[in-house]
Structure 1
């Protein structure tokens, strides 16, 4: 692969070498000293795997273009990778890259039922089960609409569902995404560069030149000859690391739990509540990340205050959102919210197959050999349970303070936003009738009136009782 890269114009290959490292396995090491910020490697656009390059292929390109809009970016790239791997001649450079890829992955979709059961109750467990079904459905669609229609291009023996899963995991674990000046994003695979391992101790250092289309790696810190060179994938929790990349970081400080809040359209006052959720930057179905640093984000309580509010509470909430005052819903509303939240956290924690204390004990005793799939699943479960316990404790503290008469900041305040364009600003004009929403100016107010009319009338009719 290296000779092909050099012939294609890659720069910096002689300063790097493949090596096996004790903690991370196969990766790239430095042959010389690098100073932080120094350019280590540059790959020309002509050798990057992108959707545009797939479309430009003389054989498979027209077929993929005919499916444009029906295929996702990942499916397009996955099919292109499998196509190149299936060819017996040609594509020498691209084939050398494919041959250098791992033959298998340890992402959660490849876990056995017993291995996945170790993290039963976690969001990873649920998402993995959903992914498995989605992959089966997507593959069947591809067989019917693509593979089966072009048997001269797609040999079904080389495009099995296992091949498809392998190609998807190649993308999940190795592709990189960049935003272009026009706001559109581009996803690419960079040969050789995809061998850099992750470390949170280095600065983010992979760069895409939107003018030339070239891709570069910069030194995320100082390196000496013989050091392993890393890139930073970002602040990623273990549940996502294992699902996408196939590894975990013990005691990961970025661990999180994605809490899904949902209200059915048939619920009382749904339309009024939907407007208030949107005003607060939320929606009737909102997924909010709970983390070790912020186990109970303000947005969770904002959502639930609106969800469980009656008409009077909704009027107060609308006024509070705009005025950013210390007005709060009724005590009964806040008590209901916190009690329901605590009960939900207890239920979520009880759903975990193995409780945190037992998992800690099993890991300490080596019940799950380090580095195995079950060991990784155990760390995911531990991280999510820690986050949920912290969230429950925060809700319990808020409830205790409320019941003792010492109201504390529950995070109910919201930033000032234009009700139409959602722009955050300090000075916005009030709606003259309900005085419960603000706008950037007359243009936004007029544009939003049809949508706001019902809420405006409801709040205005309640405003007398609110001010008493």
Structure 2
């Protein structure tokens, strides 16, 4: 989307009138489905209906501009690619996403057998397409309170379809504010930064790393300030050992149950990663008590010895990430020489995966050189 005039901070980028916001409540009322379908299923069904109506629908000029496919979104990749070319945590998340699409499809098809929903014989690919469109269009759950159309009885909340917002591309440093304008009865996005006429204007989808952007939107961005490597799968193996370590291991697991975000960014090892590794290395209840003081901020470290062990373990985890990245990059290079249907992937999807793995490799290498030595040095000071 491009600015047609010079824009200053506070000017409106996009204004979506209330009468073209499609809420789950409105769809449920029109179809008379009661509580049989949740809010996401209702809106996906509405996208299918609008697509099937074609030129007969007043929405056709907009619907025909929706993406024809979502080949860069991992949920559409061949199974072999999911298993071999994605980070483990992302593969698990994609499998959950696919299971959600499958479950929604089965539920809608089963319900539509005995009810007229105004949609003809939805096949799986059509439903998947509409579901993924919804990932880009379904927003503004809080807006429905402002416009007075919320139905709190709908499972999943009364979310809405907001056409046009998907035409705004993501940029990590885009500055904006958005909300419902009661005066104009519209949902407005206002820029907080200037744009000159002819410049592309941007929206920020959130403070997300590239793995999240790839999963949810099917793209990655260069020099993403939120880039991180995810250590969940390696941490899971360490935590699995605690489950067979008797009462002491069980106590550690309970202390960690509210933790997560096992990541390393370009300039930072997440506090939760450090906290979890410190606790895993603790050898007695006294050290576990010291760990709790560290978490609360009243103590810096448990002991120099444990800091040393944590640093060495983090070094191994980063080295594992670098090796995995190299293997995956080699796999992606080999894909270009193959033509098997099991491993055929969109060229842009392959490029995005290469970008992601190069990023993981770079962060892992930088952490070994810049972050972990500092951790080891501080433990010896």
**TM-score, normalization by structure 2:** 0.75
- 1:342 and 1:229, CA in 2 relative to 1: closer, same or farther beyond 3 A? closer
CA spacing shift, 1:351–1:52, aligned 2, 3 Å:
same
Determine the structure 1 residue equivalent to 2:342.
none
- Deviation per CA, 1:396-426: give whole Å up to 9, x if none: 4156427xx724xxxxxxxxxxxxxxxxxxx
Segments of 5+ residues of structure 2 without an aligned counterpart are 147-151, 337-345
Q: 2:201 aligns with which of 229, 236, 245?
A: 229
| CA 270–143 in structure 1, closer or farther in 2 if over 3 Å, else same | farther
Does the CA-based 8 Å contact 1:85-1:95 persist in structure 2?
A: yes
2:35 is the alignment partner of 1:66 = yes
Q: Distance in 2 between matches of 1:41 and 1:315?
A: 53
2:252 to 273, 277, 285: 273
8 Å Cα contact 2:229-2:364 kept in structure 1: yes
| Closer/same/farther in 2, CA of residues 344 and 197 from structure 1, 3 Å limit | closer
CA gap 1:34/1:89 in 2 versus in 1, 3 angstroms = closer
Quick check: 1:352 aligned with 2:325? yes
Tell me, yes or no, if the aligned pair for 1:120 and 1:352 is still in contact at 8 Å. no
- In structure 1, the partner of 2:3 is 30
Q: How does 1:345-424 map to 2 (within 5 A)?
A: 345-352=318-325, 354=327, 372-393=348-369, 396-398=372-374, 400-401=376-377, 406-407=380-381
The CA RMSD measured in Å over matched residues stands at 3.9
Change (3 A) 1:325 1:98: same
User: Could you tell me which of 179, 190, 210 is aligned with 1:238?
Assistant: 210
1:105-160 Cα offsets, whole Å, 9 max, x none, are 2322233457667844464444334433443344334434x23343664432xx22
3-state SS of paired residue (1:351): helix
**Residues 54-100 of structure 1, C-alpha deviation per residue, up to 9 Å, x if partnerless?**
2232xx2x22x3225xx3x433321221133334797x334543333
Higher helix share: 2
Pairwise CA distance, 1:312: 2.1
Confirm or deny that 1:140 pairs with 2:106: yes
- Residue 52 of structure 2 is aligned to residue 86 of structure 1: yes
Structure 2 matches for 1:254-265, cutoff 5 A? 254-260=226-232, 261-262=235-236, 263=239
Higher relative contact order (CA 8 A, sep 6+): 2
Q: Could you report, residue by residue, the CA deviation over 1:372-396 in whole angstroms, capped at 9, with x for unpaired residues? A: 2211111111122222333444564
Task: Report if aligned partners of 2:50, 2:59 keep a CA contact under 8 Å in 1.
Answer: yes
2:292 counterpart residue number: 318
Q: Which residue of 2 aligns with 1:169?
A: 132
Q: Deviations over 1:289-309 (max 9, x none)?
A: 432232x12221112222332
The answer as to whether partners of 2:329 and 2:354 remain within 8 angstroms in 1 is: no
Partners of 1:330 and 1:301 lie apart in 2 by 13
Give the alignment of 1:38-77 within 5 angstroms.
38-57=11-30, 60=31, 62-63=32-33, 65-67=34-36, 71=38, 73-77=39-43
- Identify which of 248, 263, 278 aligns with 2:220: 248
The 2-side partners of 1:212 and 1:304 are apart by: 53
Aligned to 1:442: none
Alpha-carbon distance change, 330 to 359 in structure 1, aligned in 2, over 3 angstroms? same
Q: For each residue in 1:231-270, what CA deviation from the matched residue of structure 2 results, as whole angstroms up to 9, or x when unmatched?
A: 2323332222222222222333332223324435554335
The number of equivalent residue pairs is: 353
Distance in 2 (CA, whole Å) between partners of 1:75 and 1:82 is 11
- TM-score where L is the length of structure 1: 0.63
